Structure 1
């Protein structure tokens, strides 16, 4: 009788350690699909890489369409936004250093083209909305 109890407990233990048998768990976190945006121009030797979950969805769903703003408008906004962002990078005690990690090298004398300026501006719009950050330059769409 004692052996039957031990065998029963052992069988119950083995059964409880078995696989879930049919439960389908997602292979990755929802909404964390590949959200890497690479902007590069080899002739000017610059590169911007944006790795931000949700940015592609924002660009495709909420941002104003390409052509809505002129390139000069985007360049002017980006000049001020990059300047303020870089100031915040230099003040880790005032601003969250996990949000403001690296300086952005943006030279207003270089023509980065419309696409770079469009994506950079919209990244600042996304960044300000997603992390509830306010810049002195309005970034509303």
Structure 2
């Protein structure tokens, strides 16, 4: 009887460790990747319904930024975002990594929309990103 109870306890222990490995595997599969549309322009799809409202009503207009400024900020912010994802910081907000190549020419519109993702997350969820200041949102 003691052997059966011992085997049951060991089995439960082994099975209870299983989901932790699956969580680590899932983190590797979650990634936001830029895609090209039919017009050969880079696109960024944001699934949060309030993001478009934020872009039109809250965010600073695209004309206030240069593409080189946005590219340098995005390079820094993507690194910070991905670091937060892998360490589990803000796990209720940051659910995926972002694939971003600073050597790729994404264009001003894409760079602006990506930059505004970080400003939006700061505005809506209060996530503090070192690459953003409070003045990014009007």
Same fold per superposition (TM over 0.5): yes
After TM superposition, give the deviation of residue 48 of structure 1 in Å. 2.9
Residue equivalent to 1:11: none
Q: TM-score, normalised by structure 2?
A: 0.66
Residue equivalent to 2:4: none
Structure 1 unpaired stretches of 5+: 1-38
Q: Deviations over 1:2-46 (max 9, x none)?
A: xxxxxxxxxxxxxxxxxxxxxxxxxxxxxxxxxxxxx74248796
Q: Deviations over 1:84-128 (max 9, x none)?
A: 000011012xx1323111110100000100110000101110111
Rate the CA distance shift 1:64–1:96 in 2: closer, same or farther, 3 A. Answer: closer
Q: How many residues align?
A: 101
Residue equivalent to 1:71: 67
**Mapped partners of 2:110, 2:79: distance in 1:** 17
**Mapped partners of 2:84, 2:41: distance in 1:** 26
Q: Which protein is bigger by CA-based radius of gyration?
A: 1
Point out the structure with the larger helix share: 2
**Mapped partners of 1:69, 1:60: distance in 2:** 15
Structure 2 unpaired stretches of 5+: 1-33
Residue equivalent to 1:55: 51
Residue equivalent to 1:41: 36
Rate the CA distance shift 1:68–1:99 in 2: closer, same or farther, 3 A. Answer: same
**Mapped partners of 1:45, 1:54: distance in 2:** 23
RCO higher in structure (CA 8 A, sep ≥6): 2
The DSSP-based 3-state class of the residue aligned with 2:104 is coil
Indicate whether 1:120 and 2:114 are aligned: yes
Q: Deviations over 1:33-82 (max 9, x none)?
A: xxxxxx74248796532111311111111111122100000001111110
Q: TM-score, normalised by structure 1?
A: 0.64
RMSD between aligned alpha carbons? 2.1
**Mapped partners of 1:119, 1:61: distance in 2:** 14
